[in-house]
Chains A and B, each alone.
Chain A
Amino acid sequence: MNNLWAIVVKEVKELVRDPKILIGVVLMPIIIFPIMGAAIQISQESVERAIMGASFAVYTDDEGFVTDALLSYLYTNNTVVPIDAGSLEDALGAFKATDSSALIYIPHGYHTNITLGQKGVLRVYANLRSLNMAETQSTNVVTSLISVYNYYFSISKIRNLLTQTGSMGTPEAVRNPIEVHYASILKGNVLDIPPNAIFSLVMGQSIMLPIMVMMMVVFAIQMAATSIALEKEQKTLETLMTLPVSRLTILAGKLSGSIVIALAGSVSYLIGFGFYMNSAFSFVPQATTMNIDDVGVGITPLGLVLVGVVIFVTLVSALAMALSVAVFADNVRSAQSFTGALITPIMIPAVVLMFSDIEMLPQTVQWLLLIIPYTHSIIATKAAFLANYVVVIRSILFISVWTFVVLYVAAKIFSTERIITARFTFGDLGKRFRRKRPPAVNR
């Protein structure tokens, strides 16, 4: 135990004191994400300020009380730049000279059409000077204003018609005869909540959890590969392997040290990402005041324990795989290239299953994904969230079998001379195809 502890402490010191790892894995996420979030927040706030202070221009070519009513509505509580011109062409010229991004043009005939029961036409011009978000938002403000006016205007007209014809009903019901009320059935319970609201509430957690697991696995793989490659690069591996300590203890020490750093990296990533989400989406109004417990979708203590088991077996297998592969690398750079090949099959299921369930995919894709052991890690974490424990335990068993296989291979490599003699470069692959040649040895 003392030997194992000594190796773990050494591993952690070596990895944490390496500026590349400390900055890249532990500090970067906690610094970069909040900076990104703050940048988005600043930009969003600027847009909001621009919209709030935005004015729009109005030019009318029409007369009459219907037109006057619209003008009166537009001028109330809004910053309006009136355009006085002899023609539309002149009006557009004058509009371009203003700071406004939108112009509402009331053409001749608007009043007449409406009084005759026809559609009154308005035209909105958007002046896109720099194609930024504030300009489109200004147009949206104008659209919303007209849409509100349109609604109340139509209600008023319907009310008059109903009175004149003596018909039954309300103007709102005539305008929108059908109203839909949404409800959701979740885990057998009927809830008066729209499915979209529940999905947006749950999505954050059910997606974040698998992402976190995958991020941790990726970090751990990088750490483990770096750890063994550092031993080779610094020429310390041979000394380590002749110490009076079992090879399995060395393997366990390296696995544990990498897990510690991977956990630190993941926590840093989560904190950083949390800041990012809070800052970047602080402008989005809360869609609902629902609590996750209100809808009965939350991870139970048992689910949490099972997720812990999933994370543990996933990490151990990924680390053992990384160590086994990194043994073939001469230095840290080669090891990082090798881990790139390992990370790809881990990220593919994470990305695919982020937005869809395995059952929704075509049969061939399902089988291809299910062959990848780490697909089961994602399936298990999602299933734990929905309290589908049979699926979780089945996945844990599958990953555990894979973990034992990989650990066996890693232990074999560590207990034989392969750990010292194994060498592989991408150049070797080319040579292998060209001609067979004995490996170079240092005699």
Chain B
Amino acid sequence: MDAIEATELTKDFGSTQALRGASFTVKEHEIFGLIGPNGAGKTTTLRILSTLISASSGRAQVFGYDVARQPEKVREILSYLPEDAGAYQMLTGMEFLEFMAGFYSRDRAGTRSIVEEGEKISGLGDRLNDRVNGYSKGMKRRLLIARALMMKPKLAILDEPTSGLDVIQSVHVRNMIREYADHQGVTVLLSSHNMLEVEYLCGRVALISGGVVMAEGTPDALKERYGAKNLEEVFMEVTKSE
């Protein structure tokens, strides 16, 4: 079964068409990259798949569940990290993780186990006992990545996961994403402007521009198709033809 099956998705905001028939599939356990210029429709696509907004037309399924008709089922197996997500400023990092973990476990032991996973992913140590309003941007992002992965969701949708992080923290986050995809059975759909990151992490990539998917395949296949040395050149070629 495909983890995500998006078919001819469109989304209108008034007279603005954010998506104009985007289609792609994501296989189970893979890390799939959604790349494209600003305003291409990436965030809209991720929001539709996360059940936050509904498509104007087309269909999207997550592990066989229709996102429009069965949003509750989708939310049980999905974890979404928005690009500019924040955490509750007045809670401590630990309280934030405990609050979030509580929705994925029915008992204390289960919640504790999820939180321990979160502590490990965040790497924040004792700073988890501090309130979030004292965290740096990087610390917040690590906390949010931990929140998104700690419950080992079947599908993690990560919008710019390393946005605002320095090199060391970015590497830590990338390693965590790979670890959870390779060994914990988490399928990852991520969007990023960092082509190196996409090339390093993603097994397959979809290039979206103007609300439609222009190209889809493995990074190597895309490079070969466009005669490019790297994904950046592929990106430039695709967006130029648009």
Give A contacts to B, CB under 8 Å. Answer: 2-3, 6, 10, 13-14, 17-18, 230, 234-236, 238-239, 241-246, 417, 420-421, 438-439, 441-443
Contact = CB atoms under 8 A, between A and B. Distances in A.
Given A234-B89, A244-B76, A443-B39, A417 B53 contact: yes
Nearest to A241: B52
Given A2-B102, A6-B99, A236-B88, A242 B52 contact: yes
Contacts of B144: 239
B14 interface: yes
Given A6-B103, A417-B53, A238 B43 contact: no
Contacts of B89: 14, 230, 234
* Chain B contact patch, size range: 35 or more
Contacts of A238: 47, 50, 52, 80, 82, 85
18 contacts: A3-B102, A10-B88, A10-B99, A13-B90, A14-B90, A17-B131, A18-B90, A235-B86, A239-B85, A239-B144, A242-B52, A242-B75, A242-B78, A243-B103, A417-B54, A438-B14, A441-B13, A442-B43
A17 to B, nearest CB: 4
A79 to B, nearest CB: 62
Contacts of B81: 239
B72 interface: yes
A3 B100 CA distance: 10
A2 B85 CA distance: 25
Nearest to A421: B53
A236 B90 CA distance: 12
Given A13-B95, A14-B90, A441-B44, A239 B102 contact: no
Contacts of B50: 238, 242
A17 B89 CA distance: 9
Contacts of A234: 86-89
B53 A420 contact: yes
Given A13-B91, A13-B95, A441-B13, A244 B72 contact: yes
A24 to B, nearest CB: 15
A386 B211 CA distance: 66
B242 interface: no
Contacts of A241: 51-52
Interface string B50-85: 111110000000000000000010011011111011
Contacts of A438: 13-16
A3 B111 CA distance: 12
B47 A420 contact: yes
A110 to B, nearest CB: 77
Nearest to A21: B90
Contacts of B40: 443
B41 interface: yes
A313 B104 CA distance: 33
B42 interface: yes
Contact of A239 (B51, B53, B80, B211): B80
A239 B95 CA distance: 16
A420 B103 CA distance: 21
A19 to B, nearest CB: 9
B18 interface: yes
Contacts of B80: 238-239, 242
Nearest to A9: B99
